[in-house]
């Protein structure tokens, strides 16, 4: 149905980086406003809740220690870039990122068709959460093959 291209919805999604890498392949009819890593990663100490799975204490300590160095000890732009790159390199793929995602029903229908049997459980959780909140899920469910 062509009308599905005209119905836009806004989603507030917090998901791990590895999930976003797959979700980013859906570009038609979408826009995203994200809490950019570059602007948020050094604002506070990270905790276990910032990750999909529990991290080893040593890894979390190392990331937080580097954030502290970035915030307290980096005096030059070069130092700040160095520590920021270190932090990004240490972040596991399970680091949770939040994005406000606008997608139309046609894009959502396509996503559901392509990911309905996906091996990552995060896709099944995403669809489960989505369908409990979606106002017109019948437009999507009717067209899933």
Question: pTM for the complete prediction?
Answer: 0.83
The pLDDT of residue 40 is: 81
Determine contact, residues 64/46, Cβ cutoff 8 Å: yes
Task: Give residue-wise pLDDT tens across range 38-53.
Answer: 778 899 999 999 999 9
Check: CB of residue 40 under 8 Å from CB of residue 77: no
Three-state SS for 98-142 is EEEEEEEHHHHHHHHHHHCCCCCHHHHHHHHHHHHHCCCHHHHHH
Q: Which band of pLDDT confidence, cut at 50, 70 and 90, is reported for residue 28?
A: low
The encoded tokens of residue 19 equal 């999930």
- Does residue 145 have a pLDDT over 60? no
Can you give 10-31 as a three-state secondary structure string?
EEEEEEEHHHHHHHCCCCCCEE
């Amino acid at each position: 149905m062509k009308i599905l291209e005209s119905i836009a919805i806004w989603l507030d999604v917090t998901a791990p980086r590895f999930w976003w890498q797959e979700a980013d392949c859906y570009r038609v009819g979408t826009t995203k406003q994200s809490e950019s890593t570059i602007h948020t990663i050094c604002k506070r100490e990270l905790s276990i809740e910032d990750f999909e799975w529990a991290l080893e204490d040593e890894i979390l300590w190392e990331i937080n220690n580097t954030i502290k160095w970035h915030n307290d000890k980096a005096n030059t732009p070069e130092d700040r870039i160095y520590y920021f790159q270190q932090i990004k390199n240490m972040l596991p793929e399970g680091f949770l990122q939040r994005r406000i995602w606008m997608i139309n029903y046609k894009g959502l229908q396509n996503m559901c068709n392509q990911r309905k049997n996906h091996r990552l459980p995060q896709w099944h959780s995403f669809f489960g959460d989505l369908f409990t909140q979606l106002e017109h899920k019948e437009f999507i469910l009717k067209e899933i093959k």
